Chains A and B, each alone.
Chain A
Amino acid sequence: MKPSTLVPLFCIHLAILFGAAGCINSPLLNHAAAREASNEPQKNLSCSDLKLPNAEAGENSACPLFFPNAGLCASLTWEKKQSENEKGSFVIRFWDEKAGNASGPYVEPNDTVFVELLMISMGHGTYPLPITSPALDCENKAIPGVYRTKNVYFMMPGEWKVFVQLKHGNMILESSSLSHTQ
């Protein structure tokens, strides 16, 4: 068999291979594109807003984040979603499971509030870590039961879990999570 015969044959095989890419769910031909930048409306909550109810993403149920041992519920309100230039931030509000609701009154947990972001499907977290601290009112005083998480950074697109934890020292007492698609 001459090379002049074999080369076209080889090329045909390559063409078949490329053609097959379209038939077997090729990622190249079946994909979504990541957003170039966040188109979500950005809402910068002022210090006075933090005390007010604010039904937002993740607050579809009466108790979006449940901490049964502490008897607390919590909500998560995005303040600013991650964009190309900035990391995101959100506000977490805690209330008594029986005596309160998303509108308040807000209750200070007895334990330290900590937030962790995990991409369960890939089996890893992210870095830098988010920073959670008590939200401050207009007089720079901590608002009981309201926390602000800054530096929220999802390092790749996909399905993430936002874990809100109650910790005592290094020990995690309770953990509750919400899904987030980046």
Chain B
Amino acid sequence: MKTRLLLVSLCFWSFTLVTANPALAAPCCSGSSAMPALITGDDAAQLSAALSYGTVIGDARDGDLTPIFRSSLHSENTTALRLDGAKLLSDRIQAGIGFSILSRSFSEGRNPVYATRAGDLDLNLGYEFLPEWNYSAWKPRGHLFLLTTLPTGRSIYEAREPGLVDATGKGFVRLSLGSVLIKRWNAWDASLVAEIHHSFTRTFEAGISNPQNQRISAGWGTSFAIGGGYSPGAGDLRLGVRVQPSFAEPKKITTPSSTFRSGRMQTIDTSFEASYLLSDRGGGSWTTFASYIDQTLLGPAAHSTLSRTFALGLQHRWDR
């Protein structure tokens, strides 16, 4: 058993390292997660709130150019409050919602500017396509999800504050299709999330920061996250690591005078996570969690800002 666990663990991490190499995406100015609000355990509903603080460390350029890390004078920070909820609609079907309020600041030495606005709205449907009704040493539990992101936040093309600090959303209606595989072995667990998304073309009217009408095709993107965790003594504490390469194809920007193509965006998020089960009584459980996400550890990255984000959160789950 011991050897087997060791082998599984080593294979998992080896796979993590191998797949992390060809890093591929997240666009400028708004982070993204591969996984929507989804119940992956034996719960009827869940609600979580997280407060995060992210700071932009640098800017990745073309893949063959080294990223530029920003000077100490150039500060761009985002504080976000995110709420996620999900509820089972039937034994294997669920619905979820996710929403953020973002407060951003930007300064170059002096005269910092601030803006607080709503972010984009996520709505998702999930289906448990691989239920775990019987014990299996290898078969994971699997969910499919369909996620719709509505551009309720202000995009970088509509921003009207200095430094585009009021950009809190991606600006596009986006449909994502993905799957989540999770496997737990006593104290260990592993997860794999893969998704592909399409952002629908949108025309942004000329505005304060945008002198011309712009028709922008953001197109396709994809990301996958592979992670693993360990609960010492199979107890209430869980420590985890996750690597998430993301990719987005170049945007096509058409203005009345010309057409451009942006660069292909790619990033790799490396996350270190900790969670602790506070209580598990009265038909539900409370869990607190913390994570640190760094986009500067693994690369290469291209055409994206590179951030470090720290998040703290609380989750409540209702038993089935």
User: Which residues of B278-316 are within 8 A (CB) of A?
Assistant: 294-301, 303-306
Q: How far, in whole Å, are A34 and B72 apart by their CA atoms in the complex?
A: 9
Q: A26-B296, A26-B299, A172-B212 are in contact. Are A6 and B59 (CB under 8 A)?
A: no
CB-based contact B71/A31 at 8 Å: no
CB-based contact A125/B209 at 8 Å: yes
Interface size class of A (residues with CB under 8 A): 35 or more
CB-based contact A121/B303 at 8 Å: yes
CB < 8 Å A-B pair total:
169
- From A28, A35, A36, contact of B296 by CB (8 A): A28
Q: Inside 8 A of A114's CB, which chain B residues have their CB?
A: 211
Q: Is B134 on the interface with A (CB-CB < 8 A)? A: no
Q: Inside 8 A of A35's CB, which chain B residues have their CB?
A: 71
CB-based contact B298/A26 at 8 Å: yes
Q: How far, in whole Å, are A124 and B208 apart by their CA atoms in the complex?
A: 13
Q: How far, in whole Å, are A30 and B69 apart by their CA atoms in the complex?
A: 10
Number of interface residues of B (CB under 8 A): 76
> Could you give, for residues 118-136 of chain A, a 1 whenever the CB lies within 8 Å of some chain B CB and a 0 otherwise?
1011111111110000000
In the complex, residue of chain A having the shortest beta-carbon distance to the beta carbon of B300: A25
CB-based contact A172/B256 at 8 Å: yes
Q: A9-B6, A16-B13, A175-B257 are in contact. Are A34 and B70 (CB under 8 A)?
A: yes
CB distance from A155 to the nearest CB of B (A): 5
Q: How far, in whole Å, are A79 and B21 apart by their CA atoms in the complex?
A: 44
Q: Is A84 on the interface with B (CB-CB < 8 A)? A: yes
Q: Is A14 on the interface with B (CB-CB < 8 A)? A: yes
CB-based contact A27/B73 at 8 Å: no
CB distance from B77 to the nearest CB of A (A): 14
Q: A16-B13, A124-B28 are in contact. Are A129 and B257 (CB under 8 A)?
A: no
> Could you give, for residues 199-238 of chain B, a 1 whenever the CB lies within 8 Å of some chain A CB and a 0 otherwise?
0000000101111100010000000000000101100000
CB-based contact A124/B157 at 8 Å: yes
Q: How far, in whole Å, are A1 and B234 apart by their CA atoms in the complex?
A: 11
> Could you give, for residues 131-168 of chain A, a 1 whenever the CB lies within 8 Å of some chain B CB and a 0 otherwise?
00000000000000000000000011111000001000
CB-based contact A27/B262 at 8 Å: no
Q: Inside 8 A of A30's CB, which chain B residues have their CB?
A: 66-67, 299
Q: Is B89 on the interface with A (CB-CB < 8 A)? A: no
A residues apposed to B, CB below 8 Å: 1, 3, 6-7, 9-10, 13-14, 16-18, 20-21, 24-28, 30-37, 84-85, 114, 116, 118, 120-129, 155-159, 165, 170-172, 174-175
